[in-house]
Structure 1
Amino acid sequence: MSDSTIAQTINERTEAVKKVINLIAQSGRGDDLHDLRVLLINTTSLLKRDPGIEAAVDDLYAAAAALVRDASAGTPPSARSLRLLLSASDRFCSRLGAAADRIGPEPEMRFKGLEAAYAVQLERFSMNADLDPVGQVA
């Protein structure tokens, strides 16, 4: 994978993470948390191991899980939980961008099975997000 391709892929994954985080912040659904987990696994599989990214992934997932847990208990999200989620998302996205420049891609991309299927599904969802229910561009 060339440097420009890995940078483009990282940018796409960053945007996808931001979309899922916004969905979690708005509705706090468990399905969105599952989507975030799969997306984070897929994204981290693109790069060599990096402790900073792994810590950012853990923080982001923990903040999202806390928000979903509160929402499923019927508690509206507090300003603090939303702030923690958004700051964890920003931290993850900035570390991911920096790591892509610094450490480069895995020698062999580990993008198989469920990860590949999910990436296709997420891409279709993001393409259809710009359409209204009738299928016309909004």
Structure 2
Amino acid sequence: MDSYKTFIAMIDERLESIELAVSWIAQGASESDLHDLRILLVDVMGLLQRDPGVEAAVDDLYAAARAVVRDWPLRLQPMFRKQRLLKDASTRLHRQLHAAAGRVGARKRSELPGMAAISAAQMALRAALLRGDESPARLV
């Protein structure tokens, strides 16, 4: 049971980073945020055994984020609708991941260091700087 709680905690940690990227995209979409989101989505998919529901939710979220990023500079309407679709897709991913965690379980090697970890750290640093919490020197 302890390993299941640890696995769920790992998924929740990834979901927090995904939510942060989604929030940034919804508020002022950039290609950089879309890239971060893509890395995080690949990472979270790598935690689980293959699940078509999770794959569909990931595809939907990325497509919604890409539409916001593509249309943001052009101010194409209706942007509010695209932002709502992005939030809805994020909520579906959250539900699908938690459902799949109990249904299909973790992959054999669930810790995937590398680009996703680096991206999550960069996002946390950027969030702290935007909040004005700390100086960059203290966060590194």
Q: TM-score range by the shorter chain?
A: 0.7 to 0.9
Q: Which amino acid is 1:38 matched to?
A: I
Runs of 4+ in 1 over 4 A off after TM superposition: 122-131, 133-136
Report the TM-score when normalising by structure 1. Answer: 0.84
Q: Which amino acid is 1:107 matched to?
A: K
Determine helix, strand or coil for the equivalent of 1:72.
coil
What percent of counterpart residues are identical? Answer: 42
The corresponding residue for 1:48 is: 49
Q: Which amino acid is 1:28 matched to?
A: A
The corresponding residue for 1:132 is: 133
Call closer, same or farther: CA 1:87–1:26 in 2, change over 3 Å. same
The corresponding residue for 1:88 is: 89
Q: Is the 8 A contact 1:70 1:77 kept in 2?
A: no
**Aligned positions, number:** 136
Q: Following TM superposition, by how much is the alpha carbon of 1:30 offset from its aligned partner in structure 2, in angstroms?
A: 1.0
Question: What runs of 5+ residues in structure 2 fail to find an aligned partner?
Answer: none
Q: Is the 8 A contact 1:60 1:85 kept in 2?
A: yes
User: Is the deviation greater in 35-44 or in 103-112?
Assistant: 103-112
The corresponding residue for 2:72 is: 71
Q: Is the 8 A contact 1:71 1:77 kept in 2?
A: no
Q: Following TM superposition, by how much is the alpha carbon of 1:24 offset from its aligned partner in structure 2, in angstroms?
A: 0.4
* Superposed CA RMSD: 2.5
Determine helix, strand or coil for the equivalent of 1:25.
helix
Q: Is the 8 A contact 1:67 1:77 kept in 2?
A: no
Q: Aligned equivalents of 1:27 and 1:52: distance in 2?
A: 29
Q: Aligned equivalents of 1:6 and 1:129: distance in 2?
A: 30
Q: Is the 8 A contact 1:25 1:67 kept in 2?
A: yes
Report the TM-score when normalising by structure 2. Answer: 0.83
Q: 1:1-49 CA deviation, whole Å, 9 max, x = no partner?
A: 9211111001111111111111100001111110000000001001101
Q: Aligned equivalents of 2:129 and 2:48: distance in 1?
A: 28
The corresponding residue for 2:61 is: 60
